[in-house]
Structure 1
Amino acid sequence: MSFWPNADHWSVQIPLRTPHPRLDVLADTGVVVLEDAPFECPESEYLALEYMDWKSGGDTNFAPIATADGELDCRGFWDKGKTDKDAEWTSNAQVAPSIRDYVDGVGANFGRVRTIKLAPQDREAAIRSIHRDDNNRFNPDDEGWVVRSWVELTDNPDSYMILMDNDADGLPDPDTEIRVPLHRGARFVVDTQRLWHVVVHTGDAPRYALITSFESGPTLDAWIHDNLPADDRAATPA
């Protein structure tokens, strides 16, 4: 492989160990896969959103649905002096009521809500964009750690998200790689400030997904438990 992050990568400077309350369900691997989504966002909704040219993890465009102040803005909440939570709906939320209802239904405090449009990219191209997220800037130490959830809106079962934990130098450790397949309705929650991540998209058309920031706490924990696959739910204490 021609590229691999080194100690100069900007992600290495993002804090990993802080006092913030975290979810036990993410303690082991940093990711939990849920049952497939109980709803399907109509193509007419997510294609009609207003997308912005914003690059993250490849050739991407984003449609902001909830932001720091309700404006169509892809920048981090810290640019408005806020943590990535207590978001306000944008004009895009009126275009995609199924997404707004889904996020509201979780019940947890949410930050940025947006759909991503990702052009096809192979693994070598994807690895050039592998990164960790700065989700908790300005987050008080006694408030819940911000994590992210995904819902796949298009059907790309041969595409997958790469997730890697950190080695001793804070770089992605290939021995910890997890691949999450991206069929329509696939759902998962990831500690993206902890895990390096990027998507390998093997399709011949753009992939669309919903990405939402949520604050860790009892409400999100209960929602995750209620949405685990049946076998995992039975084996996991409530």
Structure 2
Amino acid sequence: MSFWPNSEHWSVKISLNTPHTRLDVLAETGVVVLKDADFDCPESEYLALEYMDWKSGGDTNFAPLATADGELDCRGFWDKGKTDKDAVWTSNAAVAPSIKNYVEGVGANFGRVRAIKLAPQDREGAIRNLHRDDNNRFNPDNEGWVVRSWVEFTDNPDSYMILMDNDENGLPDASTEVRVPLHKGSRFIVDTQRLWHAVVHPGDAPRYALISSFESSPVLDEWIHAQAAS
């Protein structure tokens, strides 16, 4: 491997140990694979969304469905002085009612909700894009830790998300690597502020998926246990 993140990577500065309320179900590995989605977001919905050129984890475009203030904006909620919670639906949500209904159906406080379009990317490219997310900036210490949920819209059985925990220096520990398959309908919850992550996506067509932020809470915990794969 010709590249590996080092101590100068911006992710290393993101907090790992805080007093926020976390979910026991994510304590051991930081990820929970859920049962495949029982709803289908029609192609006519996710392709009709307004996508913005915003790079994160590869050659990506994002369609914001819920943001800090309801505007079409890919920036972090902190740019509006907010934690990644209490989101407002954008004009894109009216184009994709199946997504809006799914997110609201979780019942937990949600933050940014976005559809991602990821161009093909090999493993070396994915390693170059490994990162951790800054999900909890401005999050009061006595509130729930923000985690993220994925739902795959397109069928990419040869693609997978790389997840790695941290070594003693706060860098990705290759010995902890987990690969989550990205077939259509696959779903998972990840503590992306804790785990380094990126997607290996071979092929010649873009991958589309839904990424949503949720606050850790008893409501989210109950939903995860109900949806977890057996």
TM-score for both structures, normalised by structure 1: 0.96
Runs (4+) of structure 1 exceeding 2 A deviation are: none
Alpha-carbon distance between aligned partners in 2 of 1:124 and 1:138, rounded to the nearest angstrom: 33
Alpha-carbon distance between aligned partners in 2 of 1:87 and 1:121, rounded to the nearest angstrom: 30
Deviation at 1:204, TM superposition (A): 1.2
Q: In structure 2, what is the equivalent of residue 24 of structure 1?
A: 24
- 5 Å-filtered alignment, 1:116-131, equals 116-131=116-131
Residues 197-216 of structure 1 show CA distances to partners (whole Å, capped at 9, x for unaligned) of 00000121000000000000
Alpha-carbon distance between aligned partners in 1 of 2:129 and 2:156, rounded to the nearest angstrom: 20
- 5 Å-filtered alignment, 1:27-176, equals 27-176=27-176
Q: Secondary structure at the match of 2:100?
A: helix
Q: Secondary structure at the match of 1:41?
A: coil
Code of the aligned partner of 2:72: L
Alpha-carbon distance between aligned partners in 1 of 2:38 and 2:149, rounded to the nearest angstrom: 15
Q: In structure 2, what is the equivalent of residue 235 of structure 1?
A: none
Alpha-carbon distance between aligned partners in 2 of 1:79 and 1:93, rounded to the nearest angstrom: 22
Number of aligned residues: 230
Q: Is 1:193 paired with 2:182?
A: no
Deviation at 1:127, TM superposition (A): 0.7
Q: Secondary structure at the match of 1:225?
A: helix
Alpha-carbon distance between aligned partners in 2 of 1:33 and 1:126, rounded to the nearest angstrom: 21
Code of the aligned partner of 2:45: E
Residues 214-235 of structure 1 show CA distances to partners (whole Å, capped at 9, x for unaligned) of 0001000000011012x3xxxx
Give % identity: 82
Unaligned stretches of 5+ residues in structure 1? 232-238
TM-score for both structures, normalised by structure 2: 1.00
Q: Secondary structure at the match of 1:180?
A: strand
Residues 86-113 of structure 1 show CA distances to partners (whole Å, capped at 9, x for unaligned) of 0000000000000000000000000000
Code of the aligned partner of 1:176: T
Q: Secondary structure at the match of 1:85?
A: coil
Unaligned stretches of 5+ residues in structure 2? none
Alpha-carbon distance between aligned partners in 2 of 1:41 and 1:199, rounded to the nearest angstrom: 21
Alpha-carbon distance between aligned partners in 1 of 2:203 and 2:13, rounded to the nearest angstrom: 33
**RMSD, matched Cα:** 0.4
Code of the aligned partner of 1:96: A
Code of the aligned partner of 2:219: T
Deviation at 1:6, TM superposition (A): 0.3
Q: Secondary structure at the match of 1:19?
A: coil
Alpha-carbon distance between aligned partners in 2 of 1:137 and 1:43, rounded to the nearest angstrom: 34
